[in-house]
Amino acid sequence: PTRVLTAISACLAMTFAGSALAEDPIVIKFSHVVAESTPKGQGAVKFKEIAEKLLPGKVTVQVFPSSQLFGDAKEMEAVLLGDVQFIAPSLSKFDRYTKKVQLFDLPFLFDDMAAVDRFQHSDNGKALLDSMTNRGIKGLAYWHNGMKQLSTNKDKLTRPEDIKGLKFRIQNSDVLEAQFRQLGANPQKLSFSEVYQALQTGVVDGQENTWSNIYSQKFHEVQKTIANTNHGVIDYMVVTNAKWWDGLPDDVRKGLTQAMAEATTYANDMAAKLNERDRKRIEEAGAAKVQTLSKEDIAAWRTAMEPVWKKFEGDIGADLIKAALASND
């Protein structure tokens, strides 16, 4: 009888194990490279909160900020391998997957974030979310950060000639490389997690980024001047593995789609406020000087950077550039 009992309990154990397995929540990893206090950091936290509320017991979302899980160099590959399910790289980091998204790196293309938003909501903007599906990458949403500012370890930073010969850290983007070369500076592609140290040790003299990234990474503590150039944009595309996404149970995909839409609205509403807050914090900290620029100064930067457009017009498409420009009105 003991043997029979053992057999029965083994059977029961297996049944429970089986049903427990079937009910295990799907673990979704969301990896990104910035601090939690930034627009993207806050968006990821919000997505987790909403997804787990809409799909109780069905999904668990784990958020990994600050390159803890994967940094710039590995995160796209990790999505394709299924090691992580969501990432939100800056739009500057997709040029190995699609040439079209390089559009967003053209200097002085968009007048402000409202224009960026209008373009992303247009048919042309939405189509770019699907521009990497042939590579297995599906775009789910655009998330805002903000306009880029230029910083260096020099006192004078008002005109393009002030950065001649200086070394700049850039994101992994050929357009940004061309932009700095056009100005007679030396660009160097580095992962986001390496920037602080590169600035601190003088491996590079300067960088370009949003107020929230500058503040949260303490770049202002290792730079002398930050010029309020607004010369370009740092925004994001939240992407996932297309095959994994298509293979999800319908109710889960639907819930995640809704969570993504709500988190997107939340993050995009917060972005401007967080950047404004961090600009103030940088000014109050008093470590680096915030250099405001006159209309004439800005015009000089624009003129100096303009030739970059022509170089990439073929890859990006003249029509797409025209459509983006139309969103400025």
Q: Are 39 and 275 in contact (CB under 8 A)?
A: yes
Taking CB positions, which residue lies at the least distance from ligand LMR? 90
Coil, strand or helix at 145 = strand
**Per-residue DSSP letters for 52-111?**
HHHSTTTEEEEEE-TTSS--TTTHHHHHHHTS-SEE--BGGG-TTT-SGGGGGGSTT--S
Smallest separation (angstroms) from ligand LMR to the CB of 316 = 19
Coil, strand or helix at 152 = strand
Q: Are 142 and 199 in contact (CB under 8 A)?
A: no
Smallest separation (angstroms) from ligand LMR to the CB of 171 = 4
Query: Considering only residues 149-208, where is the footprint of ligand LMR by CB under 6 A?
Result: 171, 192
Smallest separation (angstroms) from ligand LMR to the CB of 213 = 5
Residue count at the site for ligand LMR (CB under 6 A)? 9
Q: Which lies closer to ligand LMR via its Cβ, residue 98 or residue 297?
A: 98
CB atoms within 10 A of CB 307: 12
Figure out which of the listed residues 90, 124, 153, 275 binds ligand LMR, where binding follows CB under 6 A: 90
Smallest separation (angstroms) from ligand LMR to the CB of 74 = 14
Smallest separation (angstroms) from ligand LMR to the CB of 170 = 8
Q: Which lies closer to ligand LMR via its Cβ, residue 55 or residue 195?
A: 195
Coil, strand or helix at 249 = coil
Using rule CB under 6 A, residue 30 touches ligand LMR: no
Coil, strand or helix at 271 = helix
Coil, strand or helix at 141 = strand
Q: Which lies closer to ligand LMR via its Cβ, residue 128 or residue 252?
A: 128
Q: C-alpha distances in angstroms, 298 versus 231, 279, 291, 322?
A: 8, 19, 12, 22
Closest CA to 102 of 32, 43, 46, 179: 179
Q: Which lies closer to ligand LMR via its Cβ, residue 33 or residue 59?
A: 33
Q: Which lies closer to ligand LMR via its Cβ, residue 59 or residue 120?
A: 120
Using rule CB under 6 A, residue 33 touches ligand LMR: yes
130-149 footprint of ligand LMR as x/- string (CB under 6 A): ---------------x----
Q: Apex CA 135: angle with CA 134 and CA 138, to 5°?
A: 80
Using rule CB under 6 A, residue 213 touches ligand LMR: yes
Closest CA to 215 of 282, 154, 264: 282
Using rule CB under 6 A, residue 238 touches ligand LMR: no
Give percent helix, percent strand, percent coil of the chain, each to the nearest 5.
Answer: 55, 15, 30
Using rule CB under 6 A, residue 102 touches ligand LMR: no
Smallest separation (angstroms) from ligand LMR to the CB of 70 = 12
Q: Which lies closer to ligand LMR via its Cβ, residue 196 or residue 244?
A: 196
Sites of contact with ligand LMR (CB under 6 A)? 33-34, 90, 145, 171, 192, 209, 213, 234
